[in-house]
Amino acid sequence: MKKILPTLIVSALLTSCNSTQIQIDETPAKPNVKNIIMIIADGMGPAYTSAYRYYADDPKTEEIETTIFDKYLVGSSTTYPASVSGYVTDSAASATALASGIKTYNGAIGVDTNKNKLETVLHRAKKLGKKTGVVVTSQVNHATPASYISHNEYRRNYNELADSYIDNGINTDVLLGGGWKYFIRKDRNLVNEYKAQSVHYIDSYQELNNLPKNKAILGLFADEGLVEAIDDVDKYRLSTMTKAAIPQLENSKGFFMLIEASQIDWAGHGNDINSAMAEMTDLEKTLEYLEVFVEKNPDTLVVLTADHSTGGLTVAANGIYEWKPQLIRDLQQSSNSIAKYFNKHELSPSALSEKLAGIEVSKIEADNIASIKTIAKKKLSTYLSLSQEQKKGQYKPNVIKEINIAIKKLIDKKTNTGWTSGGHTAIDVPVFAFGTEKHRFSGAIDNTDIAKTIFKLLEEK
Ligand SMILES: [Zn+2]
């Protein structure tokens, strides 16, 4: 809203102003962002959000419904790491860029190319008196969350990273995800150390319903990453954790929160379209909750991006103009758990079809998977008959893994899904934002711009 000030007052205030009228903006000169929620959908390149639109499409209607991702798309981001690592980033370098605004080498956690520690937006928010929260579906000391919370020259120093969460001073008011293996060890029990610092510890999703107010929370729900969404007792566990975390973080000074849909990336590495879409469904549910939260709390900003794309997913492949996500919409378990079943049960077209929620399976296709299973079992029994000495340096055949790969390939063939890699790709990723100041993330930006803008927003009052 604009207001015209009388000439007299203006000339009294502004001696150098020759104009007879001056426009004063009555909206606050600087924004007031109270809460900032940063979401990283690990590995979710643009093919994933396109795929999800068709996967989520209601086939009973003529139109293709837009998704919550379409609704809040504001631009795209480059993801390349520091030049020493080329053009293709890993999650550590990208998360460090998103958290600190500085590009670094692949594998670096919150340190620059000279291994100097970097301040992150989470650290700054804490320093400014805001509460901080981290909610992820990986282990809490995995690359992305660790890059916001801590510093280490190498992402796989998992125990060191977990130790640093305590040793550098606890800087999260809520920390939820997996990681028993790293927090409860023979040499050190970090859970007990958290408890000694009056942090409330939980280890089951049920306890999320009953968190004590005004206490910091540590919630660990798995040895490493959480069970993948499609097989978990709570298929919407990211959404469940987020819903529980936010009331703990709300306070008069606001909060900064990192949410990571960690396992979209893992599904991408596994070239597993079924699991990727299940992880995205959980993320969509999380966004739907946050949309309502922002409506009620308009001084909140939500920014969502991916750190990179994974797997080189393509929505249709092999020169065929067809993608058939409807075939996997009704699947209620992962190909890995179907593989575990067929490790113990006979593979037939009808049994496979039943487990694959009705996908038609021919005898040739079933026989192919059965022979892969037979060969893998033979290799395993040969391996097991070797002496300890002979086993050294040999890879132990994994029958379930072999069946799983064959099932995933069958699903790809049926749905016509393509993959070009088991790793990351350097394609630009989409950026989504809603709530106050969302326009600050629009257009073609770089991943470091996201941190730079968040730093500015934290300082602006
Ligand atoms: Zn990855």
Claim to verify: residue 276 and residue 378 sit in the same structural domain: no
Claim to verify: residue 93 and residue 120 sit in the same structural domain: yes
CA distance 374 to 342: 11
| Residue 264 CA, ligand 1 centroid: distance in Å | 9
Which of 77, 85, 91, 147 is catalytic? The answer is 91
Query: What distance lies between CA 425 and its chain's CA centroid?
Result: 16
The reply to whether 441 falls in a domain is yes
Residues 6+ apart with CB under 8 A from 83: none
The reply to whether 23 falls in a domain is no
| Residue 127 CA, ligand 1 centroid: distance in Å | 31
| Residue 441 CA, ligand 1 centroid: distance in Å | 24
The reply to whether 185 falls in a domain is yes
CA distance 356 to 56: 18
Claim to verify: residue 152 and residue 269 sit in the same structural domain: yes
| Residue 156 CA, ligand 1 centroid: distance in Å | 13
Claim to verify: residue 166 and residue 286 sit in the same structural domain: yes
Determine if the pTM surpasses 0.85: yes
Half-sphere exposure of 402 (CA within 13 A, CB side): 18
| Residue 113 CA, ligand 1 centroid: distance in Å | 20
CA distance 367 to 347: 8
- Strand residues in 230-361 grouped as ranges (E): 255-261, 300-305, 309-310, 314-315
| Residue 344 CA, ligand 1 centroid: distance in Å | 31
Report pLDDT digits (tens) over 233-273.
999 999 999 999 999 999 999 999 999 999 999 999 999 99
| Residue 48 CA, ligand 1 centroid: distance in Å | 14
Claim to verify: residue 342 and residue 410 sit in the same structural domain: yes
Q: What is the DSSP letter of 6?
A: P
CA distance 14 to 28: 20
Report the domain count for the chain. Answer: 2
Q: Is 29 helix (H, G, I), strand (E, B) or coil?
A: coil
Claim to verify: residue 442 and residue 333 sit in the same structural domain: no
Claim to verify: residue 49 and residue 183 sit in the same structural domain: yes
Claim to verify: residue 303 and residue 338 sit in the same structural domain: no
CA distance 413 to 454: 43
| Measured torsion, CA atoms of residues 404, 408, 411, 413, in degrees rounded to the nearest 10 | -130
Claim to verify: residue 166 and residue 197 sit in the same structural domain: yes
Q: Are 418 and 318 in contact (CB under 8 A)?
A: yes
Claim to verify: residue 331 and residue 287 sit in the same structural domain: no
> Tens-of-pLDDT digits for all 461 residues of the chain?
344 444 444 444 444 444 444 455 455 445 579 999 999 999 999 999 999 999 999 999 999 999 999 999 999 999 999 999 999 999 999 999 999 999 999 999 999 999 999 999 999 999 999 999 999 999 999 999 999 999 999 999 999 999 999 999 999 999 999 999 999 999 999 999 999 999 999 999 999 999 999 899 999 999 999 999 999 999 999 999 999 999 999 999 999 999 999 999 999 999 999 999 999 999 999 999 999 999 999 999 999 999 999 999 999 999 999 999 999 999 999 999 999 999 999 999 999 999 999 999 999 999 999 999 999 999 999 999 999 999 998 999 999 999 999 999 999 999 999 999 999 999 999 999 999 999 999 999 999 999 999 999 999 86
- Of 267, 272, 312, the C-alpha closest to 137 is 267
| Residue 307 CA, ligand 1 centroid: distance in Å | 9
Question: Rounded to the nearest 5 degrees, what angle is found at the Cα of 332, between the Cα atoms of 331 and 333?
Answer: 100
Claim to verify: residue 123 and residue 218 sit in the same structural domain: yes
Q: Is 91 a catalytic residue?
A: yes
The parent domain of residue 285 ranges over 35-314+423-459
